[in-house]
Amino acid sequence: MSPLLSLSHTSKSYWRGPNETVVLADVSLDVRAGEIVAIWGRRGAGKTTLLKVAAGLEAPDRGIVSFEGHDLSAPRPGLAYLLSTSIGWVQRSGPLSEGMLAIEYVALPLLGRASRREALRRASAALAQVGVRDCAQRRWSALTDSERTLVCIAHALVREPRLLIADDPTANLDILQREEVIGLLAAAAEQDGLGVLMTVPDMPEMLGAHRIGSLSEGGLILSQDGQEEDEENVIDFPGHQRSL
Amino acid sequence: MASKHAVLGLVIERPDYGYGLHKRLSQRCGPWAWSRTAVYAALEELSSAKLVSADESDTSHSSGRQARTIYSATPGGVAFFDEWIFGPSALEAPRQELELKLVMARPHELPRLIEMSLLQEQDCVERLAALAREARRAVTGAQRSWSEVAARLVRDTEVKQLRLRVEWLQEARTTMKLFLSQHTSGPDGRRPTAPHELARPRIVPPE
């Protein structure tokens, strides 16, 4: 099965004055539909940069990033639309206004694309999907850490992306809440064929993933493709191969 | 930690024959279960000490199969097991071959040790992936039996050990590269080579 997302020999450096910091060095990575790939690394290892490059938010210095076969580093008509509708980015920062209702925040990505009624209906469904429908009418300031995390996942899922990218979605959660979030992503991957690329702050959170990787000094050490039993669990979703 | 305690514990749970005990031990203890030979050796030792009794199965005659030896715990075996499970647990010092090689290595051998640390990190990641596969198959929620909960705890301790190992491997690699950069002249012969300029060894995936 061809991958949803593919990073091929990507490298990325930052310059601070005369000093070059190599963040990604010849990193290759695939994420398929229905598959969760979890990346662990110490603070400052380059996890967030890897996710930004994967989401097309930052261009690599070298290498190719492609989504469903489309090169993300080559601007073309429709590319921005594809990225905005097909890749969901889980932002843990939440809305700018602490007083915003959870359902309004989740509906935000649909504004201008759907009627207000339709946006709120889909936001309500996304909140239900992550198990926090009862938070819909509560303000952001009144939500607990785990509720905020789940609302942020709903915010990323509301446009029904084919790939979800999440930066430490389980940070600041206790072990039971972490299990809940990982279980939720695993269910979305297995039932809806969602591809998930996420970073994790600790290794136990990797246990819900199909493939795992360790990032350090710009190098990614990734587990081999799953064995036959994993192949059975990764579902082929032919409808996911859309063209621009 | 001896296999006889684990084997005796399973026999106390229910009488079984050697093959069945090895299968149950593998399911219960995962990666650190003992080999079948070790299980039979433990059964012999337990039998000699009269901690288990061995009886020929009588169901084999109807099926025509060879009679199997079924092991049951004796009262002495139960008391011996209780004494072990309530006794203190020794903290065993981990001893890894790579550490010994670091201690024994000469500076010019460090590039090869850097490569070895990468290979060992790959092994850790593969092991974590195997644990992830186990975890996805595992029963979750309140319906878990104690043995399933215990399996989860054993998996967690292995994950934490692997995390520490990976962290240490990364730190060791950085330290070795830093040492090399401070003791190696760069290509222009004037400045030392920066750590990121050192050739990164490539990992060749197993066939």
Domain coordinates in residue numbering, chain B? 3-85, 97-197
Tell me whether strands A219-222 and A211-216 are parallel, antiparallel or unpaired. Answer: antiparallel
pLDDT at B81: 93
A154 and A184 within one domain: no
Give the mean pLDDT of A42-68. Answer: 90
DSSP A101: B
A172 and A63 within one domain: yes
Give me the domain span that covers residue A195: 1-76+162-207
Q: Give the number of A-B residue pairs with CB atoms closer than 8 Å.
A: 77
Rounded Cα distance between A123 and A107, Å, is 5
Rounded Cα distance between A31 and A197, Å, is 7
A179 and A152 within one domain: no
How many residues does this entry show for chain B? 207
Please say which residue of A102, A127, A160 terminates a domain.
A160
Residue with tokens 């989740």: A106
pLDDT at A197: 95
pLDDT tens by residue, B31-61? 677 888 999 999 999 999 999 999 887 655 5
pLDDT tens by residue, B68-118? 899 999 999 999 999 998 888 877 777 788 988 888 888 889 999 999 999
Please say which residue of A139, A160, A181 terminates a domain.
A160
Q: Hey, what CATH class is B3-85 in?
A: mainly alpha
Residue A23 has pLDDT above 70, yes or no: yes
B167 vs A42, A183, A213: nearest CB: A42
Least reliable range by pLDDT among A27-41, A143-157, B98-112, B177-191: B177-191
Look at A214 and B121 and tell me if their CB atoms are within 8 Å: yes
pLDDT at B58: 62
Structural domain total, chain A: 2
Cβ count near B19 (within 10 Å):
12
pLDDT over 70 percentage in chain B: 79
pLDDT over 90 percentage in chain B: 40
* Chain B interface includes A225 (CB < 8 A): no
Disruptive mutation site among B117, B118, B128 for chain A (greatest number of A CBs within 10 Å): B128
Amino acid found at B56: E
Look at A203 and B125 and tell me if their CB atoms are within 8 Å: no
Give the mean pLDDT of A68-81. Answer: 74
Disruptive mutation site among B131, B133, B156 for chain A (greatest number of A CBs within 10 Å): B133
Domain presence at residue A107: yes
